[in-house]
Structure 1
Amino acid sequence: MGLRERKKQATRRALQEAAVRLTLERGLEHVTVEEIAAEADVSTRTFFNYFATKEEALLSDVPTAPDEEVRRVFVEGGPTGVFVDDLITVLTASVISSEGLAAHRDAMLLRKRLVEREPQLVPGMLARFHNVEQELSRAIAERTGTSPEDERPQLVAATAMAVTRHTVKCLHLREGEGVADVRAVLRDAFRHVGAAYAPSDD
């Protein structure tokens, strides 16, 4: 990553952190875009180069689509060739920050505090997760050679996102815990779902 891109990421992060900090201190209705920009030591114009609204800045760490490169590999049949394992790779890349589990844990805790204080952020958060689900459904359809309109890829994607949300909510995210641990928990969760809906022997 070049210096220019690193600076852009740093500015984006500074704006997001300023938005979160001020919102938790004063409440969303009492924070302006101008104040967020000033807190991050940039101009209001710079703020709008990164975010359309203060709500978008607050939700910027919530994914809107699966990681592009991970998605491509999945559609092409990788990285292992085992559908569930490859799906888990897409899901972990989508919901866990590239900065690692520690950063993800901190972001989750902040997000929880924000939603508790500002419940009007919930629809925007759910919309982002819905976008991830739709993109995941299309990726599954591409990999399996089915139409995106078919019920199966949509149902698999919806189930996968539900399992992921439940798993992430239940994770302890302790020190020393890694992505491999998250994948193992997801794999167990999918196994439980499969067993629950398996045809009865009766």
Structure 2
Amino acid sequence: MFLRTMQCLLRLHEETAPKMTSNLRDRRRQQTAREIQLAALRLSIRSGYAAVTTDSIAAEAGISPRTFFNYYANKQAAVLGMPPQLEPCTADWIVTSKGALIDDLALLLGRMLELKDLDRQVVRMIEQVWDTTPELMAVFRNSMDNIALTIGGLLHARLGPDRQAEAMLIAELATHALSHAVRTWAGDETMTESDIPDMLRQQMRQVGALLT
């Protein structure tokens, strides 16, 4: 199963590997998105989230307001940053894999985090802001719900047409476990990013044990 997963990811890389100029453009875009997010977080911590505007974020990041909207729809999105993304190849694999579902989910979510390029400092800053800003937590939960819907649809395809409710429950559990594991990682310097999938797997197993 692990070998099949790696082959899938390798095939995706080979099929979609862009030219060097595209790679550089993508890296610059990711860096600009990160700089905008950091600017939004710094302002929110320094001045209070309510006082922050998209114009002030743009000024802090050294970009134009128009450029800001090329990356984020509003200040809430800028504070929270880009949500994790799911590769098409990985999505195809989770539907057809014959491996243990709990292990496949841990691999899937772990891969999503690899693509996001987690930053411990950024996660801590987000927590610092949303502790005093309930509306941000609602936006974050909506983002996680969208991820759960996507994963739930894939699990529904994998488990069969009569398993939609179970597929969604598993997807929601997995995304909650993902959020908890990332926050734990951010606060624990001894954890590495590669420890997060193991924590996900452990948390889901513990919930399953409580239900039996």
Q: What is the alpha-carbon distance in structure 2 between the residues aligned to residue 143 and residue 187 of structure 1?
A: 19
Aligned residues: 190
TM-score by length of 2: 0.77
Structure-1 residue corresponding to 2:18: none
Per-residue deviation, 1:25: 0.7
Q: What is the alpha-carbon distance in structure 1 between the residues aligned to residue 129 and residue 79 of structure 2?
A: 8
On the 8 A contact 1:67/1:90 being kept in 2, the answer is no
Match of 1:90 among 82, 89, 108: 108
Structure-2 residue corresponding to 1:184: 198
Q: What is the alpha-carbon distance in structure 2 between the residues aligned to residue 142 and residue 62 of structure 1?
A: 23
- Is structure 2 residue 131 aligned with structure 1 residue 116? yes
Structure-2 residue corresponding to 1:32: 53
Per-residue deviation, 1:53: 0.9
On the 8 A contact 2:39/2:61 being kept in 1, the answer is yes
Name the SS of the counterpart of 2:81 in structure 1. coil
Please tell me the root mean square deviation across aligned C-alpha atoms, in Å.
2.4
On the 8 A contact 1:62/1:125 being kept in 2, the answer is no
Letter of the structure 2 residue corresponding to residue 75 of structure 1 = V
CA 1:169–1:42: 2 relative to 1, 3 Å? closer
Per-residue deviation, 1:69: 3.7
Letter of the structure 2 residue corresponding to residue 39 of structure 1 = E
CA 1:2–1:183: 2 relative to 1, 3 Å? closer
Per-residue deviation, 1:192: 1.9
TM-score by length of 1: 0.81
Structure-2 residue corresponding to 1:107: 122
Per-residue deviation, 1:119: 2.2
Q: What is the alpha-carbon distance in structure 2 between the residues aligned to residue 68 and residue 174 of structure 1?
A: 32
Superposition map of 1:1-202 within 5 A = 2-63=23-84, 66-77=86-97, 81-95=99-113, 98-100=116-118, 103=119, 105-146=120-161, 150-171=164-185, 173-175=188-190, 177-179=192-194, 181-198=195-212
On the 8 A contact 2:94/2:104 being kept in 1, the answer is yes
Deviation digits for residues 52-106 of structure 1, max 9, x if unmatched? 111111112443x54444323212317xx22211111122234566425xx2x32
Name the SS of the counterpart of 2:208 in structure 1. helix
Runs of 4+ residues over 6 Å off in structure 1: none
Sequence identity percentage = 29
Q: What is the alpha-carbon distance in structure 2 between the residues aligned to residue 7 and residue 165 of structure 1?
A: 27
Letter of the structure 1 residue corresponding to residue 158 of structure 2 = R
CA 1:136–1:52: 2 relative to 1, 3 Å? same
